[in-house]
Chain A
Amino acid sequence: MKSLFKTLVACAAAACVASAALAERVLRLDEVAVGELDPGKASDYADTILMFNVYDTLVLPRQGGPGHVPHLAESWEGEGTSYTFKLRQDVQFQSGNLLTAEDVVFSFDRMVTLGQGLSFLFGDVEKVEAIDAHTVRFTLARPYAPFVSSLVRLPIVDKKLVMANLADGEGEMMDWGQAHLSANGAGTGAYIVQSHNPLEETVLVKNDSYFLGIGEKAPDTVRLRYGLEAVTVRTLIAQGEHDISSQWLPPEVMKALADDGNQLLFEGGTGSFYYKMNTTKPPLDDIHCRLALANAFDYESVLKVIAISENVAGGTAATGAITAGMFGANPSDQPLQRDIEAAKAHLAQCQYDPAEFSIDITWIAEVPLEERLALLLQANLAEVGISSTVTKVPWALFADMVSKPENTPHVSQIYVTAVTGDPDTLLYGMYHSSAAGTWQSPEYLNDPEADRLLEAGRAGATDAEREMAYSALNERLLAIAPTIYGYDQLSVFVARPNIKVPAMSDPSMAFGLDTMGFSFRLMEIE
């Protein structure tokens, strides 16, 4: 027994020596499983982090301001239904192959054929063609103003590498390289996939031949772990064995870690938290009843519910139907206000007697914080004499429920984010009558004026036209109140003090696109 103990002690000591000898800049962070590596299927947070680091796109959001800048593209021209991109000629894939226009065409065809992830963004693209080795043209079926912003969701894959690794499947393209790309990278990105286990961990290493170069202090190795529990992350960060948490830590744990000297990182401006009202279901089919609920809601207290510390919360005050900072949004110094008297006045005009109905409020079971938000709304409604019930619903069941208006609850609580950073991807899916009945649109809004303004925002030729359309839409949505606009979401992460992430700590360096802040090449480890 003694000798066994001595052996174990010796082994543990050897382990310490070995780990000290392997000093390098290693960044360790976590996200919710599962990490989908295939860029054509990326949609969740972990998938997108992988995508933005292993692959590149033709354009990138401009840091610290609106608009986009060329990335794999050298320049572009076009408007309306035709866009032509000139590619950089100095870009190599991680395999050593040179980037060409054929790779762009292939990446587009692959994404649209697979029909997964965010491929729906390219539904209006009629044709993509390689004009020459470094020029590619996109032809659209109809004008789509946010087209360029959609390209941040079109990662470019190495056609030659994928074609050499096709596996069993139907047709000439067999499996389109799905088996290969679910376990390996095929991009031009700043980080190369060293190992990938979609439920456990993905290890990335620096791509020293990256076409933009990577700073010396950027992580040499990144370990993205999946599915860590809050208590585990709390202990690991305290022990110095973890560097950046996910945004899903409970506020109390974030506060405790911040109190221990760790920093908080932020990413926001692309989405909000909503209480969505089913406009087809009595009593919420009456506009006055909806306005009563919207006016009864306490827009100040909700920020206390999501508070992490005295000065930091998981969101900022909502200013209207459109997240602050986007086209058409109200200024951030004009937050929505609770107005009990207005709520009572609207309730008096409602055709339904509040004594005879009860509002069912549902919250998504996978997001425990939502229960507090549901209870806040319930308390607010009680103050104006509206009774309500609060129900927890698993996501899987919720997505089914909202497919029919009669099964959709009175109030559904949902976070929605613009996947390209453009208001079109936030608002069209929520409020256009053709998009009703999805998880984003349990309002079942059917308002011709809102439809018209959404179409105008989508087709606007200039920023001024779009601003005008969305501004009018904002006003219209506040007037007809299909939704209670809870707060503008701010994703908060805990990071150890030696990690520098300008894109998530300095607003002038922020990308205005969720997860883009996790571009590891722009981080520094001191």
Chain B
Amino acid sequence: MAAVFRLLAARIAVSALVLIGVSILIFAIARIIPGDPARIALGPNATSEQVAKLRAELHLDEPIWAQYGHFVHDLSRGELGTSLYTNRPVTTDIAQFLPATLELLFAAGILMIGIGLPLGIVSAKYRGGVIDNAIRIVSLLGVSAPSFVWAVILMLLFAFFLPIFPIAGRISTDYEIAQVTGFLLVDTLLAGNLAAFGNAFSHIVLPALALALSGIGQAARLTRSNMVETYDKPYIEMARSYGFPGWRIARRYAFKPSLIPSLTIIGLDFAAMLGNAFLVEAIFAWPGLSRYGVAVILRKDLNAIVGTVLIISATFLIANLIVDLLIAFLNPRIRYARSPQ
């Protein structure tokens, strides 16, 4: 257990350094790209005096190192400044939009694991057969098209031609749900409102599926290829010779060692979905952080850009940290690699 804690501490220290590096980098890049944030924020009709006044308020007339000093000072008080886009504190915006994106990511992650891994296992077990080929084709289709293409296809199929699922927002306007966690599926259950839960569930199906399809295909393909390799190992031959049932071999002896590479990829996919979520959120009018992030970049909203990138980086780092810990848990060789023993 001590080894796991050492690993955790080392990872957290590295993550903190990465976050500091990201903050400096994004702070500088956001200010170097062309376009005057004050001019953009005030709109086309603003006068030069109005623009100059706002530039002074934002400290944009000071050197970049002085601006970074203001940023660090605000950050030390838990503030990220005010968004020029929404005229609200960036922390308020993030608190509002992050749960929606995380809920979507979790739903997509569950689909990715819940469908992708079993498909890979079944495919490997029936290697070369009809089922294997069918799953390989479906997986290939999944990875071949980006999420936003799936989003449009799913919308056309299940909302336009077959109006089964709603396509905009997180829940119907008929429901007023008090925000507790920000995760509507959880909040509706906490409120004991099953009808609202069903409604929120129906809203998340299409965006989550669109976001997950590529990951499902990737997880299935990777799990299959790893398991196929594992099936050729001598200890599997031995298990077979002992007469163990096929599903027991698959589950206990072939799947577990094959899981480590799949898990690594799933972890990366999960974090990458944050980026892919933008277009899916835009198409399904999902009020999430990815859509907000792109909007603030286009408006050169400096505070909001830095805040959003930091949160996305932190999410990426946390996802990787969890994956590292899971892998360490599954594979003792990694866990003890740096221990003195």
Contact = CB atoms under 8 A, between A and B. Distances in A.
Contact of A199 (B40, B86, B195, B283): B86
B282 A115 contact: no
Contact of A115 (B40, B53, B86, B285): B53
Given A43-B45, A396-B300, A120 B50 contact: yes
Interface residues of B, number: 53
B119 interface: no
Nearest to A118: B45
A8 B93 CA distance: 32
A102 B197 CA distance: 49
A182 B155 contact: no
A178 B36 contact: no
Interface string A392-410: 0011110110000000000
A367 interface: no
B283 A229 contact: yes
A464 interface: no
Contacts of A198: 85-88
Given A396-B36, A399-B39, A36 B87 contact: yes
Interface string A380-396: 00000000000000111
B35 A397 contact: yes
A353 to B, nearest CB: 33
B283 A231 contact: yes
A482 to B, nearest CB: 19
Interface in B265-315: 282-285, 287, 291-292, 295, 298-300
A15 B87 contact: no
Interface stretch (B159-167, B208-216, B240-248, B327-335): B159-167
A11 B198 contact: yes
A14 B194 contact: yes
B44 interface: yes
Given A10-B194, A395-B40, A440-B44, A15 B35 contact: no
A232 B168 CA distance: 7
A34 interface: yes
A274 B242 CA distance: 83
B295 A33 contact: yes
Interface in A231-254: 231-232, 235-236, 238-239, 241
B194 to A, nearest CB: 5
Given A232-B283, A399-B35, A178 B168 contact: no
B42 A116 contact: yes
B46 interface: yes
A502 interface: no
B174 A34 contact: no
A358 B97 CA distance: 47
Contacts of A118: 45
Given A232-B167, A236-B168, A178 B87 contact: yes
Given A19-B174, A232-B283, A396 B34 contact: yes
A112 B130 CA distance: 74
Contacts of A36: 87
A377 B93 CA distance: 43
B179 interface: no
A7 interface: yes
Interface in A433-447: 438-440
B44 A239 contact: no
Contact of A11 (B39, B97, B159, B201): B201
B15 interface: no
B34 A400 contact: yes
B47 interface: yes
Interface stretch (A220-228, A276-284, A335-343): A220-228
B49 A400 contact: no
Contact of B295 (A120, A227, A229): A227
Nearest to B173: A223
B176 to A, nearest CB: 10
B202 interface: yes
A479 interface: no
Interface string A58-73: 0000000000000000
B35 A400 contact: yes
Given A395-B40, A396-B36, A235 B167 contact: yes
Contact of A231 (B47, B152, B172): B152
A232 B195 contact: no
Contacts of B174: 15, 18-19, 22
14 contacts: A7-B194, A8-B201, A10-B198, A11-B194, A15-B202, A34-B295, A115-B49, A117-B43, A199-B85, A235-B156, A235-B159, A236-B168, A396-B300, A399-B44
Instruction: In the A-B complex, list the 8 residue pairs whose CB atoms are closest, starting with the nearest.
Output: A11-B198, A396-B35, A14-B195, A43-B43, A15-B199, A200-B287, A198-B86, A115-B50
